[in-house]
Structure 1
């Protein structure tokens, strides 16, 4: 009797375990079925059924770009950036895509950038979320145009125009008599700045202003036997990097620039002003040509044994 009871209990336990296993299998199958339905819905989104090439839409220019060549010419390319957009595909089409980059249904700037960072969160883009452009609520599409064969911001001679859209004061400086050859395309904004953000001040590519300048002007780096202190401290003490009305990007023409620091020089120091210019009849040799630099020609530093006054 006892043995029959144990057998019955064992059979009952096995039956319960079997029922639980069946329930678990059905639950898992239901989850997979739901996932398959979702995937099928995404695959069935027919973006190219409406956005046809025959309509002359600029949308199809993406197939001529690296973005369009990742998945080939199919709906998967659209879904990768714009999301499933299931409601957008229904008639009437008055619903926005899951993620829109256009003016009609603008998505949040951080949502737009998040899509780009899904692939481009490395290299120069790694600091985007802490960068000044993200803080100003700009997205990648504020500067880049994905649906064009040639993104103008990636063309050196065109790049500055994109930056000048916001940085008007820099644009004005670039047209001054003394400036870096930005308008000629020989140098660009990204040669000095990282628009995607950096830990340095003004999003410079290098840790400091001087390191940035020395990347091109290596001859000014030193070390020198006799150094000029402002050179070692900060190039912008004397120079305006974006442009100036004075030669060599100087903030002020000499000798006024020099006399801002050298009020008591080795030789008798006299504060010069416009009254000593040649057309006043009281011309001063210190106000002609390069003035102080006529003698102190090695102003960035000297390795000459007799160069303590930066004259040679």
Structure 2
């Protein structure tokens, strides 16, 4: 019994001697997790390969990238110069024959060097920016027409105009000049005051719908704002159900409200009877006297003098009449 007690005491002592130093060591190990300062220091060191030459003396604002999200060096996800422009070893080493310095691996803006092909520039951006709203980029109208990311976006500038409502349309109008002209017509969406901009209706990075629309159809996109036109209603107007653009032109028109033609002529595209609203007052073919009063379908709001509910009606009388 005594021998057994002695063995217990010895085991306890050895356990204390063995465990205590281990526990002490665990509690006093240095934290090797890199801090934001460490991450930033390493990132600036990597950028120094480029910024030792490309500094504030550049004509283009190079160092202002540190005022953007791409310059937050305390975030490990932030790219460095070489993340976008490539390692560019030949550019850094220079030409040993003295014939000039080769270009970086990827050039985004034409200057001393020609810019890289659009597909290469897009590929560099998509190394980080992929998925979500860019899922349908491949095969989209912009991608097919060789529009690269930096053709619209400015990375080194603190203010990216295409992402600011007040200036976004001016960037889009650089290519879409017809839409710019439409926006200055009599009847438009409130584009010039910045209440509606291109990206409210279109997804420039690709869409499953036509014309880079945010939704699969034009009607679905229009209903994002014009929900009262969605219905359901008892009597549907078929052109409305098919496509809003049957009657309206979205970027601007000289006919209120954004109509493609004036009523009754717009209505006459489909409804050529029974009111003969397109007939002006005057003698008919049979030589009968002049009509003294024009048709009520030609005056005022024309067809809409009676048919006010052109987008659909719940009236028991049907015919899109307001009752």
With the shorter chain as reference, the TM-score category is 0.7 to 0.9
**1:101 alignment partner, one of 95, 105, 108:** 108
After TM superposition, the structure 1 stretch with the greater mean CA deviation from structure 2, 56-65 or 227-236, is 56-65
| Counterpart for residue 49 of structure 2 | 46
* Deviation sequence 1:229-266 (CA, Å, 0-9, x none): 1111111111111111111111100111111111113x
How far apart in 2 are the matches of 1:291 and 1:121?
Answer: 51
| Counterpart for residue 162 of structure 1 | 171
Contact in 2 for aligned 1:127/1:197 (Cα 8 Å): yes
Q: How far off its partner does 1:310 sit?
A: 2.7
Contact in 2 for aligned 1:170/1:242 (Cα 8 Å): yes
**2:223 alignment partner, one of 203, 214, 225:** 214
After TM superposition, the structure 1 stretch with the greater mean CA deviation from structure 2, 283-292 or 186-195, is 283-292
| Counterpart for residue 297 of structure 2 | 286
Contact in 2 for aligned 1:255/1:272 (Cα 8 Å): no
| Counterpart for residue 81 of structure 2 | 78
| Counterpart for residue 121 of structure 1 | 130
Q: How far off its partner does 1:71 sit?
A: 5.9
Contact in 2 for aligned 1:226/1:310 (Cα 8 Å): no
**1:249 alignment partner, one of 258, 263, 287:** 258
Contact in 2 for aligned 1:43/1:76 (Cα 8 Å): no
Question: Are 2:309 and 1:298 equivalent residues in the alignment?
Answer: yes
**1:174 alignment partner, one of 161, 166, 183:** 183
3-state DSSP of counterpart to 2:90:
coil
| Counterpart for residue 31 of structure 2 | none
Q: TM-score, normalised by structure 1?
A: 0.78
How far apart in 2 are the matches of 1:136 and 1:87?
Answer: 31
Contact in 1 for aligned 2:312/2:320 (Cα 8 Å): no
Q: How far off its partner does 1:52 sit?
A: 2.3
In structure 2, the CA distance between the partners of 1:215 and 1:67, relative to structure 1 (3 Å rule), is: same
Runs (4 or more) in structure 1 with deviation over 6 Å come to none
How far apart in 2 are the matches of 1:49 and 1:210?
Answer: 54
Q: TM-score, normalised by structure 2?
A: 0.75
How far apart in 2 are the matches of 1:309 and 1:216?
Answer: 22
Structure having the higher helix fraction is 1
| Counterpart for residue 287 of structure 2 | none
Question: Are 2:186 and 1:183 equivalent residues in the alignment?
Answer: no
| Counterpart for residue 58 of structure 1 | 61
In structure 2, the CA distance between the partners of 1:270 and 1:105, relative to structure 1 (3 Å rule), is: closer
Contact in 1 for aligned 2:281/2:294 (Cα 8 Å): no
* Deviation sequence 1:186-236 (CA, Å, 0-9, x none): 001111111111121111111111111111100000110111111111111
3-state DSSP of counterpart to 2:72:
coil
| Counterpart for residue 17 of structure 1 | none
Pairs aligned (count) = 265
In structure 2, the CA distance between the partners of 1:305 and 1:144, relative to structure 1 (3 Å rule), is: same
| Counterpart for residue 276 of structure 2 | 269
Q: How far off its partner does 1:270 sit?
A: 3.9
How far apart in 1 are the matches of 2:165 and 2:231?
Answer: 30
Q: How far off its partner does 1:72 sit?
A: 7.0
Question: Are 2:232 and 1:229 equivalent residues in the alignment?
Answer: no
Contact in 1 for aligned 2:280/2:294 (Cα 8 Å): no
Name the Cα RMSD after superposition: 2.7
